[in-house]
Amino acid sequence: MTTTLSAPPVAKDAMLDFVDDLRGICRRALPEMFLTDQELFCFTKRRTAEGIRREGVSRRYTAITLLGLIGEADAHVRSILHGRSASDLCGRLLRDVESVENMGDVALTLWCANLIHHPDRERAAARLRALDPVNAPHYVVELAWALSALANDRSMDANDAYRRAVAQRLMSVFSHRGDLFPHNVGSRPMLRAHVGCFADQVYPIQALSFYATATRDDEALNIANRTAAKICHLLGPAGQWWWHYDARTGDVVEGYPVYSVHQNSMAPMALFAVQEAGGDDYWPSIVHGLKWLQSPPELHGRSLVDHENNLIWRKVARREPNKLTRRLQAGVSAFHPALRVPGVGVLFPPVAVDWESRPYHLGWILYAFNDERMARLRARSDGAPR
């Protein structure tokens, strides 16, 4: 078994054919990531000296993958889940949701249950309330997932006070100067409190877009659109979605690693969400990010897309010890927004590949580029980017 990276094939309709290729990889890879004995997906597949093997198990990654499967044809779902339906898998997540301590995992489960309209979804809704998204300290990502779950509850009144309070709390940590979100909400100040990662931007964009669609809230749509415009403005020259930002100023703190999941699913799904809520059209930025994945310049013509093993490798990172660059840049920028450690690109070049592939990544691809959205993109006029 080999894992040699090769340049992607040239497609006649470059971008959408490339996306269809990625969706095919997802459908072929996910059945091997599903652990039938536990009815959950593994945490990762990793390249080792003995070959590529599954490691761990993850409720969170199962819920995210399920979000992608909900938009798939039933035949594809049952093939991936070894005969089970999306509702069956959702029921598995709901079965013991009362014992789950992580709010993000509960929120993702509720999101799935609301999309399916599962009869036991109230179990997850009650558990979410118990974990208190309105007042308790949380990560911004997990608060955004809570809002996404609530915004996708079709039975909820548009003026529901609880959902509005969750949305207001998320919007309260938005930096009106930097047009970005930090990493935490309600926690004690820390040295890197000003730093927000890419996920801290994407999931609020998506959640606030869903909320704006459900409630016609102009403030939510405005914040989602401003954050989307900011990350697109900061997009790297080859289409890299950078990793760490200074939420105070709207500047990049440290670009690497660049994650494949950001390029082909997380950025697209958030930008599609804000556009569909009434925001701007960010399709050119989506295309730019996808082009990076086709042939990252850091890898000199190679790709993270591994057709031989039906996997998409996790990221391109700096060759450095223990996330050193990110820690240093976060530390010095805490003292002054303009400070950066010089010379990191020379000392720690971004040439390392993370030989992991996680199921949530594949789930987000299927979610971002579901059949309905792909049909709409295919139907665009000849003037659409290709």
What is the three-state SS of 321-337?
CCCHHHHHHHHHHHHCC
Q: In what order do the strands lie in the sheet with 251-254?
A: 195-197, 244-246, 251-254
End-to-end Cα distance, the chain: 34
Find out whether 326 and 243 touch, Cβ atoms under 8 Å. yes
- Per the listing, tokens 């809704």 go with 125
CA dist 216 and 158 (Å) reads 9
Which CATH number is associated with domain 14-377? 1.50.10.10
For residue 386, give every residue at least 6 positions away whose Cβ sits within 8 Å of its Cβ, in sequence order, or none: 13, 14, 15, 16
Secondary structure class of 246 (helix, strand, coil): strand
Q: In what order do the strands lie in the sheet with 258-259?
A: 258-259, 315-317, 352-354
CA dist 299 and 7 (Å) reads 10
Residue-by-residue pLDDT tens, the chain, 386 positions: 444 444 444 343 789 999 999 999 999 999 999 999 999 999 999 999 999 999 999 999 999 999 999 999 999 999 999 999 999 999 999 999 999 999 999 999 999 999 999 999 999 999 999 999 999 999 999 999 999 999 999 999 988 999 999 999 999 999 999 999 999 999 766 656 778 999 999 999 999 999 999 999 999 999 999 999 999 999 999 999 999 999 999 999 888 999 999 999 999 999 999 999 999 999 999 999 999 999 999 998 889 999 999 999 999 988 656 665 655 565 556 555 665 556 566 566 777 899 999 999 999 999 999 999 999 998 874 444 43
pTM for this one?
0.91
For residue 100, give every residue at least 6 positions away whose Cβ sits within 8 Å of its Cβ, in sequence order, or none: 59, 106, 109, 127
Secondary structure class of 98 (helix, strand, coil): helix
- Identity (one letter) of the amino acid at 153? D
Find out whether 230 and 279 touch, Cβ atoms under 8 Å. no
- DSSP letters along 167-236, please? HHHHHHT-BTTTTB--SEESPPP-TTTTEEESHHHHHHHHHHHHHHHHH--HHHHHHHHHHHHHHHHT--
Given this model, what pLDDT does residue 142 score? 98
DSSP 319: S
| CB atoms inside a 10 Å sphere around CB 221 | 20
Q: Which residues of 113-122 are buried (b: 16+ CB within 10 A; e: fewer)?
A: bbbbebeebe
Find out whether 183 and 196 touch, Cβ atoms under 8 Å. yes
- The residue extents of the domains of the chain are 14-377
For residue 285, give every residue at least 6 positions away whose Cβ sits within 8 Å of its Cβ, in sequence order, or none: 232, 235, 267, 271
For residue 372, give every residue at least 6 positions away whose Cβ sits within 8 Å of its Cβ, in sequence order, or none: 71
Secondary structure class of 356 (helix, strand, coil): strand
Given this model, what pLDDT does residue 159 score? 87
Secondary structure class of 68 (helix, strand, coil): helix
Question: Counting runs of H as helices and runs of E as strands, what totals does the chain give?
Answer: 17, 15
- CA 96 distance to own-chain centroid: 25
Question: Which among 310, 277, 300, 305 is positioned nearest to 350, based on CA atoms?
Answer: 300
